[in-house]
A and B are shown apart, each in its own frame.
Chain A
Amino acid sequence: DAMVIQNPRYQVTQFGKPVTLSCSQTLNHNVMYWYQQKSSQAPKLLFHYYDKDFNNEADTPDNFQSRRPNTSFCFLDIRSPGLGDAAMYLCATSTAGTSPEQYFGPGTRLTVT
């Protein structure tokens, strides 16, 4: 089945130690998104790629970076994680066509110690 895959599902990192979360998709969608979701809150968009074009949200901290080496893969890099970065990170995809819905992966829960 076509899907959005996130690895790992659970990630523990130390305060200040760089960490990378990965997302892959078999849907061949041209738009990929990264969201941060804290407990009991709605997902918050960090940035998205429209093909290779990177679109950063105005309030996304510089500590968060992203890479999209090809259509299928997208990475979220947190350069120096703080305790406040502990959250669920969700990857989503969509196609810039007549189907405007986004398809989400299962998420990676990040713990910062």
Chain B
Amino acid sequence: AQSVTQLDSQVPVFEEAPVELRCNYSSSVSVYLFWYVQYPNQGLQLLLKYLSGSTLVESINGFEAEFNKSQTSFHLRKPSVHISDTAEYFCAVREFAAGNKLTFGGGTRVLVKP
């Protein structure tokens, strides 16, 4: 069975500093990988996804994530954060041909300080 581990539950970071959110998963089959962002009292918004092809994927607001198959990781990075990036970030995995279910990590709360 698959599982997703987000190693940091909270990450405080100063504005304009870089941030990395770690995500590791376990699965015996190929997977799709996602990062979702959740602002307070909002639903989850898809930030970026890895389906196939290039292992480095980027979002329109400066985030990027790299799929590392050998390390079963999908870490999220941003070189320079803004106050508006304060949110909870969830890594999620869906196994190929295993139905439609997502398995979520426990979430990482990012607090950007001025």
A interface vs B, CB < 8 Å? 4, 6, 31, 33, 40-43, 45, 48, 50, 88, 90, 92, 94, 96, 100-107, 109
Contacts and interface: CB of A to CB of B under 8 A. Distances in A.
A106 B101 CA distance: 19
Interface in B91-114: 94, 100-102, 104-107, 109
Contact of A101 (B43, B46, B104, B107): B46
A45 B107 contact: no
B94 A100 contact: yes
Give the size category of B's interface with A: 20 to 34
Nearest to B45: A104
A56 B107 CA distance: 24
B29 interface: no
Interface of B: 32, 34, 36, 41-46, 49, 51, 90, 94, 100-102, 104-107, 109
A106 B100 contact: no
B101 A45 contact: yes
A96 B101 CA distance: 11
A102 B41 contact: no
A104 B102 contact: no
Contacts of B51: 100
A102 B102 contact: yes
Contacts of A92: 44
